[in-house]
Amino acid sequence: MMLLIRAAIFTAVVAGGAFAPAAVRSAPADRASSPLLPLTNSDEESTTETGCTSTFHVANLDHLQLVGTELVLRDTRGLHACRLTEANTRALDEGQRAIACSQYRLQVRRVGRTSTNAASDSSSTRAFLTIDRGGTVATMLGRWTVAC
């Protein structure tokens, strides 16, 4: 009888989740560890390109800037500027596929509705930035903003 009571208590406790394994959760995407560092004002002004400017930012800090066909990013090794083809510029801006810059493969994937401002010819959308460096992948949640 005592064995049956213990078995019933054990079953109730396990079924209730007291001994369920803890769920493993990664950090939220917007707080994920990123190999990219925020761009400084001088980083953003370093481009010689003109045209529409797209930025990926988290908490008002820009981590990626695309001006015309020039992509600028910063990591612990310094500032990187990459000239993209028109096709790769479009692919990055429209989230079609990952593009290469320095030792990174980068892809912006927009999520949700886009807010547009016709007066300033700009738009802003929540987006994920996926950063792949040699198989080590990080994803950040932020905003992809385009101004022309």
- The answer to whether position 96 is within a domain reads yes
pLDDT of residue 4: 35
Q: How far lies 114's CA from each of 28, 62, 73, 117, 126, in Å?
A: 22, 18, 24, 10, 8
Containing structural domain, residue 50? 28-147
pLDDT of residue 11: 36
Q: pLDDT tens digits for the chain (148 residues)?
A: 333 333 333 333 333 333 333 232 333 444 447 899 999 999 999 999 999 999 999 999 999 999 999 999 999 999 999 999 999 999 999 999 999 999 999 999 999 999 999 999 999 999 999 999 999 999 999 999 999 9
- The answer to whether position 138 is within a domain reads yes
pLDDT of residue 27: 39
pLDDT of residue 8: 37
- The answer to whether position 112 is within a domain reads yes
- The answer to whether position 16 is within a domain reads no
Domain count, the chain: 1
- Whole-model pTM: value is 0.76
Give the C-alpha separation, 122 to 111, whole Å.
17
- The answer to whether position 106 is within a domain reads yes
- The answer to whether position 53 is within a domain reads yes
Question: Is the separation of the CB atoms in 143 and 115 below 8 Å?
Answer: no
Give the C-alpha separation, 65 to 92, whole Å.
11
- The answer to whether position 20 is within a domain reads no
- The answer to whether position 13 is within a domain reads no
Give the C-alpha separation, 76 to 139, whole Å.
17
pLDDT of residue 79: 98
pLDDT of residue 34: 86
